[in-house]
Structure 1
Amino acid sequence: MAEDSAQQAPTTAHAAPARALLPLILPALLVGVVSSLLFVGVSVAAEKLQGVLWQNLPDALGIGRYSAPWIFTVLIATGVAVGLVVWKVPGHAGPDPASMGLSAPVMPPVVLPGLLLAAALMLAGGPSLGPENPLIAVNAGLAVWLGGRCYARLEGEQWKELAEAATLGALFGTPVGAALAISEALAGQRIRGVLLWDHLFAPLAAAAAGALTTDLVHHASFDLHLAPIGRPGVVDVVGSLAVASVGALLGICAVYAFPYVHRAFRQLRHPMLMLPAGGAVLGALGVLGGPLTLFKGLNEVSELAGDPDGWSAGQFATMTVVKLAALLVAASCGFRGGRIFPSVFVGSALGLCAHALVPGIPPAVGVASGVLGMLLAITRQGWVSLFTAAVLVASPSILALMCMASLPAWLLVTGRPKMQVRPDGTAVR
């Protein structure tokens, strides 16, 4: 028995020697810093343009900043501007964004300026999408193009992985989310023969460099500063299970509608028709939901979290539905952007609605659970969803609750499509 227990089956994974990992550090750090600076540069430029469009111009014209006519005007104009980029700029701002996820195919350099410009215009103009997908694609394209010429020891796929990790680190302000996303991708690919931490060594360095650079120059944070919860009670457990499940069901509704809405806009056939039409629909939704339902949603979530009791349950419910519809339209009609940031707003508004209906559910529990369920349905990435929900709430107890709440939510979403289509328009599972 002793001999049998001592004889372990040999592992198929082998550890890389330190001399194989050390040369990866400098490229990883450089990719992390450059990816973060590009993210910060685009974010700051978009914020400046947003101030011009939504403050300076309406003030100069004597029009209400978020009056119905101005919301329609800016969103339709944003559709026209992005449509011109997609139509006329070389590379056409990349492939159909509805077919792209966080990990996109590497694009040639000629595509990247147009994609970056389209994303910046979208961020400033108000459509409900985030910067993550286009920024990851741009950083990956630059890393593969420049890195392959300057340091041939790394292959193109390695440069791409570094850029994806670095951008996620910069976006979330922590390398943990990038490590979890890569781990989930590796599990899906069933990679054998390399220890996980050896594979994560360089991407983790890139993600850490990206996160630290963003923190130093931009001071971004996902923490909503909600009141932390103490020891979880029965109401916390039941509330988290219920809110996460409702969030997953709402997300599934949007996911199943996505191919049909996408197909409807594709019937218009031209970006100068699809994007202005999408802008008009988004304008109507913006008027219905109010200014908080515009833009990528992260700053607006902070405003909601700053006063969890400042809106009624009906108002929170309206913002939840309107923002989800705006995400669905913006992602379908051709705007270049990602789905994680607006999903965070949708889940947060849902969680605060639950708190307004049942005051015994703390805002922190409602927000984290709503975000978890929504992201599971939209992205189908369990680790990223769990991490995002937990990082919004600085409370040690929240992680255990979210692990429990993820179980019924995952049962609802597993085996179903996610919010992404193939080039032929069919849903991706």
Structure 2
Amino acid sequence: MAQETDASQAPPTAPTAPARALLPYILPAAAVGVVASLVFVGVSAGAELLQRVLWGPLPDALGVGRSSVAWVFVMLVATGTAVGLVVWKMPGHAGPDPATLGLNAPVMPLVVMPGLVLATGLMLAGGPSLGPENPIIAVNVGLAAWFGGRLLPRTPGAVWPMLAESATIGALFGTPVAAALVISEALAGRPMRGRLWDNLFAPLTAGACGAVTTTLVAHPTFDLGLPPMGHPHAKDFLAAVVIASATALLGMCAVYAFPLVHAAFRRLRHPMLMLPAGGVVLGALGALGGHLTLFKGLSEVGKLARHPDGWSAGQFAGMAVVKLAALLVAASCGFRGGRIFPAVFVGSALGLCAHALVPAVHPSVGVATGVLGMLLAVTRQGWVSLFTAAVLVASPGLLALLCIASLPAWLLVTGRAQMQLRADGTPIR
């Protein structure tokens, strides 16, 4: 009798969706996944081609060193001017203020897309310290909502942004796991109908198709090739907690400075003042930090990882601080771009700095936990931070370290200001 009473008082289990309710989403999700991947690959390939010209044959023809202080400064200022022209003159002004956008982009009108793509490509080629993720997600969300709403008008409008976000994240990381983790985190704050996996079915399909398309076309890899780590010891757990917490605190310094730096640039009011001024500051930072502190930072992280003992602790720390300052300036002055990839560079450099200071700290532990702490502070996306840190260093023994290190780091960042602003310039919490 008691068992019957307990069973009657138990909360009802959400019913699972029948297969016939999920099957209609497969083809739309697959189409969004393929198109989102091709948009990402196309923009990235075009930017890389332009980058090779701007930082190769062009300075050679002018008799200027490719990585010289003068060329770095000229290129950053020129990039700020070019992007400023796009934001000023192109229809839609390349979208809203990027400081107000995160990974979950709003649906923008189709007229905004050409300017946003052009501003993103120029930024990626010119050297500012931002990645492609935020604007590419925004472009794919806009395209999916516009075409999906016309081709399949009976499909709920909220489906298309979720499919586009999942597809783009899957394409960016080359695996649908990242998309599933991000969407599950987003769904946690929303009312759901049915089971979690029912709600993840269509986004996971889009993410898988996006990841497969990118893998077949571009062959991406995130493994840095650092020395593998064996069974973790007590010193590794201590190092993981300390490094993740320290990098999270440094990241929070940039987060708290973000609205102040953004407000300083906003006083210039016009994109043809804000972006060239940002280019001047970024040019000075690039001249100070060197060529490795330019661009989105992913290939530059690979260069650091190939020689974990190739720089001193002071040099690693200097590159990390310059890169973090460059990320802060680029995100504040109006460049269209995301913050994940440059934050990965900052966390990696700080982790290698810890290894240089204390050789007993394994470089894989330093890099993975440094990236974890920095991403928790900058993105406030727990799953993205854990996943990115784990895929950079292919070592199963690190998973337990990362999970433990994330706990104190999360306590340091949760509930505090985020590196994303409201329209009035105040930080989101």
TM-score of the two chains, using structure 2 as the length reference: 0.98
Question: How far apart are residue 5 of structure 1 and its match?
Answer: 5.7
- 1:370 corresponding residue in structure 2: 370
Q: Report deviation, 1:255.
A: 0.2
Structure 2 match to 1:62: 63
Question: 2 CA distance for matches of 1:8 and 1:199?
Answer: 26
Letter in 1 for 2:62: L
Query: For 2:14, what is the secondary structure of its paired residue?
Result: coil
How far apart are 1:107 and its partner, in Å? Answer: 0.0
Q: What's the counterpart of residue 121 of structure 2?
A: 120
What code does the residue aligned with 2:187 have? L
State how many pairs are aligned.
Answer: 428
- Which residue does 2:10 correspond to in 1? 9
Q: Deviations over 1:308-365 (max 9, x none)?
A: 1111111100001000000000000000000001000000000000011111111111
Identity %: 73
Question: Conserved in 2, the CA contact under 8 Å of 1:316 and 1:350?
Answer: yes
Report if the CA contact (8 A) 1:12-1:192 is conserved: no
1:395 aligned residue:
395
Instruction: Give 1:333's aligned residue.
Output: 333
Match of 1:230 in 2: 230
AA of the residue aligned to 1:21: L
Q: CA deviation at 1:193?
A: 3.0
Deviation at 1:228, TM superposition (A): 1.6
Counterpart in the other structure of 2:140: 139
The 5-angstrom pairing of residues 251-330 of structure 1 reads 251-330=251-330
The structural deviation recorded for 1:188 is 2.1
SS at match of 2:187: helix
1:40-94 Cα shifts (integer Å, max 9, x gaps)? 0011100000011111100111100011110111100000000000000000000
Give how far 1:249 is off: 0.3
Inter-partner Cα distance in structure 2 for 1:36 and 1:77? 29
Partners in 2 of 1:105 and 1:409 — Cα distance? Answer: 29
- The corresponding residue for 1:380 is 380
**Secondary structure in 1 aligned to 2:341?**
helix
Q: What are the residue-to-residue correspondences of 1:117-266 with 2, within 5 Å?
A: 117-189=118-190, 191-266=191-266
What is the Cα deviation at residue 192 of structure 1?
A: 3.5
**Aligned pair 1:407/2:413, yes or no?**
no
> What is the CA–CA distance in structure 1 between the aligned matches of 2:170 and 2:132, rounded to whole Å?
13
The answer to whether the aligner puts 1:358 opposite 2:350 as a matched pair is: no
What amino acid does structure 1 have at the position aligned with 2:310? G
Equivalent-residue separation in structure 1 for 2:232 and 2:13 (angstroms): 41
1:4 positional shift: 4.9
4+ long deviations beyond 6 Å: none
SS at 2:355 equivalent? helix
- Mark the runs of 5 or more structure 1 residues left unpaired by the alignment: none
RMSD: 1.1
1:13–1:192 Cα contact (<8 Å) kept? no
Q: In structure 1, how many angstroms separate the alpha carbons of the residues matched to 2:320 and 2:9?
A: 53
Alignment of 1:12-31 (within 5 A): 12-31=13-32
Q: Deviations over 1:284-303 (max 9, x none)?
A: 00011110000000000111
Match of 2:84 in 1: 83
* 1:6 CA drift (Å): 5.4
Q: Which runs of 5+ in 2 are unaligned?
A: none
2:105 matched residue in structure 1: 104
Whole-angstrom CA distance in 2 between matches of 1:4 and 1:400 = 40
Instruction: Note the C-alpha offset of 1:166.
Output: 0.2
Higher mean C-alpha deviation, range 318-327 or range 178-187: 178-187
